Amino acid sequence: MLIYNMKNLNKQLGKKVAVIGAAGGIGQPLSLLLKLNPNVSRLSLYDIVNTPGVAVDLSHINTNSNVVGYKGQDSIGEAITDADVIVIPAGVPRKPGMTRDDLFNTNANIVQSIGQAIAKHAPKAHVLVIANPVNSTVPIIAETLKKAGVFDPRRIFGVTTLDVVRASTFVSELKGTDAVKTKVTVVGGHSGVTIIPLLSQTGINFTQEEIEKLTHRIQYGGDEVVKAKDGTGSATLSMAQAGARFTNSLLEALEGKTGIVEPSYVYSPVAAKEGVAWFSTNIELGVNGVEKIHPLGKLSEYEQKLYAEAIPELQKNIKKGEAHVNK
Ligand code: NAI
- The predicted-structure confidence for 6-50, as pLDDT tens digits, reads as follows 444 444 558 999 999 999 999 999 999 999 999 999 999 999 999
CB 196 within 8 A of CB 187: yes
CB 262 within 8 A of CB 285: yes
CB 262 within 8 A of CB 280: no
- Pocket lining: 162 vs ligand 1, CB cutoff 6 Å: yes
Q: Is the predicted pLDDT of residue 164 greater than 70, yes or no?
A: yes
Percent of the residues in the chain that have a pLDDT greater than 90, as a whole number:
95
Query: Spelled out in words, what is the top-level CATH class assigned to the domain 2-158?
Result: alpha beta
- Pocket lining: 76 vs ligand 1, CB cutoff 6 Å: no
User: What does residue 126 show for φ and ψ, rounded to 5 degrees?
Assistant: -90, 130
Which atom in ligand 1 lies closest to the alpha carbon of residue 137? 32
Buried b (16+ CB within 10 A) or exposed e, 119-140: bebbeebbbbbbbbbbbbbbbb
Which atom in ligand 1 lies closest to the alpha carbon of residue 110? 18
- The pLDDT of residue 13 is 59
Average pLDDT, the chain: 95
Per DSSP, the three-state class of 83 is: coil
Taking the C-alpha atoms of residue 324 and residue 140, their distance in angstroms, rounded to an integer, is 7
CB 88 within 8 A of CB 130: yes
What type of residue sits at position 84?
Answer: D
Ligand 1 pocket mutation, candidates 165, 234, 236, 280, criterion most atoms within 8 A of CB? 234
- Pocket lining: 51 vs ligand 1, CB cutoff 6 Å: no
Ligand 1 pocket mutation, candidates 31, 32, 47, 111, criterion most atoms within 8 A of CB? 47
- Pocket lining: 239 vs ligand 1, CB cutoff 6 Å: yes
CB 239 within 8 A of CB 250: no
Give me the residues paired with residue 17 across strands: 43, 85
What type of residue sits at position 20?
Answer: I
Tell whether the torsion through CA atoms of 104, 321, 226 and 209 is positive or negative: positive
Ligand 1 centre distance from Cα of residue 176 (Å): 34
- Pocket lining: 249 vs ligand 1, CB cutoff 6 Å: no
- The pLDDT of residue 327 is 86
- H or E stretch covering 86: strand 85-88
Catalytic position from the list 60, 190, 216, 324: 190
Q: Which CATH number fits domain 161-326: 3.10.129.10, 3.40.50.170, 1.10.10.10, 3.90.110.10?
A: 3.90.110.10
Clarify whether 190 is annotated catalytic.
Answer: yes
Was 94 annotated as part of a binding site? yes
- For the chain, the structural domain boundaries read 2-158, 161-326
Taking the C-alpha atoms of residue 168 and residue 13, their distance in angstroms, rounded to an integer, is 33
Q: What is the pLDDT of residues 282-314, one digit of tens each?
A: 999 999 999 999 999 999 999 999 999 999 999
Taking the C-alpha atoms of residue 160 and residue 186, their distance in angstroms, rounded to an integer, is 9
State the pLDDT confidence band at 242, using cuts at 50, 70 and 90. very high
**Cβ within 8 Å of residue 56, ≥6 positions away:** 69
Taking the C-alpha atoms of residue 157 and residue 30, their distance in angstroms, rounded to an integer, is 17
Q: What is the pLDDT of residues 113-157, one digit of tens each?
A: 999 999 999 999 999 999 999 999 999 999 999 999 999 999 999
